[in-house]
Amino acid sequence: MEYNNILVEKKAYLALITINRPKKLNALNAETIQELHNAIDAMHRDEDIRVMILTGSGEKAFVAGADISEFADFDVIEGSNLARKGQELLFNFIEKLPTPVIAAVNGFALGGGLELAMACHMRVASKNAKMGLPEVTLGLIPGYGGTQRLPQLVGKGKAMEMIMSATMLTADQAMSYRLVNHVVEQESLLSFCEEIADRISNNSYSAIASAIKSINAGFQNAKSGFETEINEFGNCFGTEDFVEGTTAFLEKRKPNF
């Protein structure tokens, strides 16, 4: 299968999926989200593949966020549909996938990029990685599961601080907050992830699938939280702050809230 925005490489039991929009810092648009779903689903159905690694092309960004130009003129209903479709098609899909997915976070993982990394089963960051959820600077909130997964990983208080202040973490800070599993040198990122994948691949695939399902079950009470996030994300599109935030971003200036 051919893709416009991603690259897929198979290495025996391993699939390396690379988001390949370097000029856009690998920002997520609707086409890329659909292609990621298709590629990950195809690799999951491939009986040879036991583990996947998800990363971004180049050294600057894993995913620098969503493609804001694609939704800057959305209304409340369109905003809600954007969050719902994205969660169902990609973010929740990855989290529930029986095949382990490792996020190799190289460079910026902001907004939807961090949400994508958090949806993966584990995260390894390069030392130059920067992570955060800056949506409130656009008059928005995280809409791809960020308000639910971040507290699960770093705790409620730190998640509140990060989201409300739009704080960006260094790789070492992310490690200290348990947002990532490991921090390694940029040049060692993929090889380190492959070492983890190798250890995983030596174990029972069915048992790993059961472990993923069981661990996720402990967080199922968050289902209503995801629905609330979808609704509130959509509501943001009906505010003046959203118009100002996205306009300022596209005009490359600071917003005036």
Instruction: Report pLDDT digits (tens) over 63-103.
Output: 999 999 999 999 999 999 999 999 999 999 999 999 999 99
CA dihedral for 141, 221, 212, 90, sign (positive or negative): negative
pLDDT tens for residues 110-150?
A: 999 999 999 999 999 999 999 999 999 999 999 999 999 99
At 215, is the secondary structure helix, strand, or coil? helix
Question: Which residue in the list 95, 115, 194, 229 is annotated as catalytic?
Answer: 115
Spell out the CATH class of 6-186: alpha beta
pLDDT tens for residues 47-61?
A: 999 999 999 999 899
Per-residue confidence at 249, pLDDT binned at 50, 70, 90? very high
What was the pLDDT predicted at 108? 98
Decide if 115 is catalytic.
yes
What was the pLDDT predicted at 223? 60
Domains of the chain by residue range: 6-186
CA pair distance 159, 165, nearest whole angstrom: 10
Nearest to 234 by CA among 84, 117, 131, 118: 84
pLDDT tens for residues 194-211?
A: 999 999 999 999 999 999
pTM for the model stands at 0.92
Decide if 31 is catalytic.
no
Per-residue tokens: 167: 């704080």
21 contacts 5 by C-beta, under 8 angstroms: yes
Question: Which residue in the list 2, 31, 78, 135 is annotated as catalytic?
Answer: 135
pLDDT tens for residues 19-48?
A: 999 999 999 999 999 999 999 999 999 999
